[in-house]
Amino acid sequence: MAESSTVAYVFPGQGSQSTGMGLDLYNGYPSARKVFDEAESSLGFPLSRLCFDGPEEELTKTHNVQPAILVTSIACLKALEDALADLPSPAYVAGHSLGEYTALVAAGALNVADAVLLVRERGRLMYEAGLKSPGSMLAIIGLDEEGAKEISLCTGTEISNINCPGQIVLSGATQALAKADRLAKSRSARVVPLKVSGAFHSALMEPVIAEFREVVSGISFQPPAVPVISNVTARPLTGINSIKEELVKQLRSCIQWQGSVEYMTQNGVTTFYEIGPGRVLSGLIRRINHGLRTFNISGIEDIAQIAPAENPTS
Residue ranges per structural domain of the chain = 4-130+203-306, 135-193
pLDDT digit string, tens, across residues 182-197: 999 999 999 999 989 8
pLDDT at 221 over 80: yes
Mind listing the pLDDT tens digit for each residue in 80-126?
999 998 899 999 999 999 999 999 999 999 999 999 999 999 999 99
Lowest-confidence region among 13-22, 38-47, 141-150:
13-22
The reported pTM is 0.94
Mean pLDDT, rounded, for 286-293: 96
Confidence of residue 1 (pLDDT cuts 50, 70, 90): low
- pLDDT tens across 163-175, in order? 999 999 999 999 9
Statement: 4-130+203-306 belongs to CATH 3.40.366.10: yes
Confidence of residue 311 (pLDDT cuts 50, 70, 90): very low
pLDDT band at 3 (very low <50, low <70, confident <90, very high): low
201 labelled catalytic: yes
> Which entry of 97, 171, 202, 230 is annotated as an active-site residue?
97
Q: Write down the pLDDT at residue 314.
A: 40
Say which of 42, 96, 201, 230 is annotated catalytic: 201
Specify the pLDDT at position 21.
87
d(CA 289, CA 265) in angstroms, rounded, equals: 9
DSSP string for the chain: ---GGGEEEEE--TT---TTTTHHHHHH-HHHHHHHHHHHHHHTS-HHHHHHH--HHHHTSHHHHHHHHHHHHHHHHHHHHHH-TTPPPPSEEEESTTHHHHHHHHTTSS-HHHHHHHHHHHHHHHHHHHHHS-EEEEEEES--HHHHHHHHHHHT-EEEEEEETTEEEEEEEHHHHHHHHHHHHHTT-EEEE---SS-TTSGGGGGGHHHHHHHHHTS-----SSPEEPTTTSSEE-SHHHHHHHHHHHTTS-B-HHHHHHHHHHTT--EEEEESS-SHHHHHHHHH-TT-EEEEE-SHHHHHHHTTS-PPP-
**In this structure, which CATH number among 3.30.70.250, 3.40.50.1360, 3.30.230.10, 3.40.50.300 belongs to the domain 135-193?**
3.30.70.250
**How far apart are alpha carbons 23 and 187 in whole angstroms?**
44
Active-site residue flag, 97: yes
